[in-house]
Amino acid sequence: MSHPRRLGNRKNVKKGFQFTLMVVGASGLGRTTFINTLCDAEVVPKRECDEPEMAHIEEGIKIKPYTVELDEDGVKISLTVVDTPGFGDMIDNEYCFQEILGYLEQQYDDILSEESRIKRNRRFRDNRVHALLYFIAPTGHSLREIDIELMKRLSPRINIIPVIGKSDSLTPGELADFKKRVMEDIAHHKIPIYNFPYDPEEDDDETVEENSELRSLLPFALIGCEEEVTVNGRKVRGRQYPWGVVEVDNPQHCDFVKLRYALLSSHFQDLKEITHDYLYENYRTEKLSRSTDSASDNESGEEDEHSRLKEEQFKKEEGKLKEMEDRVQRELKEKQQELWTKEQQLMSLEAAQVQVQ
């Protein structure tokens, strides 16, 4: 499944650009190492190991953005990487989902209120997150419930790209099987990840070929390492094991180079456009229609109050009329009584007169 709206693959822009990436995944899957490998610098400091007496304390999730200026073949990139340490550490992860979702929506809210200002703030920074790399543990089985839940809940708000952390723990055969199973799970649960959308009818052959190759690599197998080792006289970034070296920048060993190029060169524009034209637009429409609904709820509330007051007024008037009618009836009866007494007096006077005559 892909997002219903897809946009053409754009090539690099020379003047430089800003891009924001979020990394989420269980503890220890290599997020910090990946960020530092991606930027080729120690952007995120290494985490100190917890003291044994503190190991049981659940700190909860933290959301930490780091901004770094990169130079990619002369193209300036202001890259913000948002790390999410503590994800999945708690027994109940509901709080984690809400925190991440809240962060993503807050960035949309900020731009929404900026758009509706009469005078624009020139220093306003658009912090919308353009892609989320979701780190899957290299279990060799299939997706866990927390993976499915996170991707399902966040996919309406962000381009999700699934990756396998520490993929050197799997043999090439195991990795291929695992990738296949993960994609089957994603399809089964209808999770709309970012799958390098293309249209063979509309797009040029180069785009179709490039995107279908990237799609076939999903979920990207990652290896992270900041140190350099020497292999056959060459200095490479790689993990040295007694039996050999796994190289970060070797496409035979992992998909790091392909993913890096897609994120920072060939597909950043597509990711940004989908974020703006589709994900943000949906959020904006939902939010604005929610506030119109509550306004019309208010309006109908006002109407209800109005008719309630009218009814009260009507009842009061009715009561007054009834009182008036009763009083008139009472006075009428009194007058009739008076009249009858007067008639009786008149009759007895007449009778007395007749006797006198």
Ligand X SMILES: Nc1nc2c(ncn2[C@@H]2O[C@H](COP(=O)(O)OP(=O)(O)OP(=O)(O)O)[C@@H](O)[C@H]2O)c(=O)[nH]1
Judged by CB, which is closer to ligand X: 136, or 274? Answer: 136
DSSP 116: T
Binds 28: which of Mg ion, ligand X, none (CB < 5-8 Å by kind): ligand X
Give least dist CB 86 to Mg ion, A: 9
Helix, strand or coil, per DSSP, at residue 56? coil
Give least dist CB 206 to ligand X, A: 31
Per DSSP, what are the bridge partners of residue 69? 78
Binds 329: which of Mg ion, ligand X, none (CB < 5-8 Å by kind): none
Q: Please give the residues from 19 up to 48 whose contact with Mg ion meets the rule CB under 5 A.
A: 32
Binds 210: which of ligand X, Mg ion, none (CB < 5-8 Å by kind): none
Give least dist CB 262 to ligand X, A: 19
Give me the helices (H) in 116-252, please.
Answer: 145-154, 172-188, 205-217
115, burial (CB in 10 Å: exposed 0-12, middle 13-18, buried 19+)? exposed
Judged by CB, which is closer to ligand X: 128, or 239? Answer: 239
Judged by CB, which is closer to ligand X: 210, or 255? Answer: 255
Give least dist CB 58 to ligand X, A: 13
Please confirm whether the linkage preceding 251 is cis (ω < 30° from 0): no
Judged by CB, which is closer to Mg ion: 81, or 186? Answer: 81
Residue 143 to residue 23: CA distance in whole angstroms: 17
Q: How many CB atoms lie within 10 A of CB 89?
A: 15
Judged by CB, which is closer to Mg ion: 103, or 108? Answer: 103
Token couple for 305: 């109050």
Cα dihedral value 303, 307, 312, 313, nearest 10? 100
Give least dist CB 89 to Mg ion, A: 12
CA nearest 162: which of 139, 144, 179?
A: 179
Judged by CB, which is closer to Mg ion: 27, or 216? Answer: 27
Binds 33: which of ligand X, Mg ion, none (CB < 5-8 Å by kind): ligand X
| Chain residues that interact with ligand X, rule: CB under 6 A | 27-33, 47, 85, 166, 168-169, 223-224, 239
Binds 127: which of ligand X, Mg ion, none (CB < 5-8 Å by kind): none
The residue nearest Mg ion at its CB is 32
Binds 128: which of ligand X, Mg ion, none (CB < 5-8 Å by kind): none
160, burial (CB in 10 Å: exposed 0-12, middle 13-18, buried 19+)? buried
In sequence order, the 6+-apart residues with CB closer than 8 A to the CB of 69 are 76, 77, 78, 79
Per DSSP, what are the bridge partners of residue 132? 22, 160
Per DSSP (E only), the strands in 39-145 are 64-72, 75-83, 131-136
The residue nearest ligand X at its CB is 30
What are φ and ψ of residue 140, in 5° steps? Answer: 80, -5
Binds 29: which of Mg ion, ligand X, none (CB < 5-8 Å by kind): ligand X
Judged by CB, which is closer to ligand X: 111, or 133? Answer: 133
Give least dist CB 134 to ligand X, A: 12
In the complex, which residues of this chain contact Mg ion (CB under 5 A)? Answer: 32
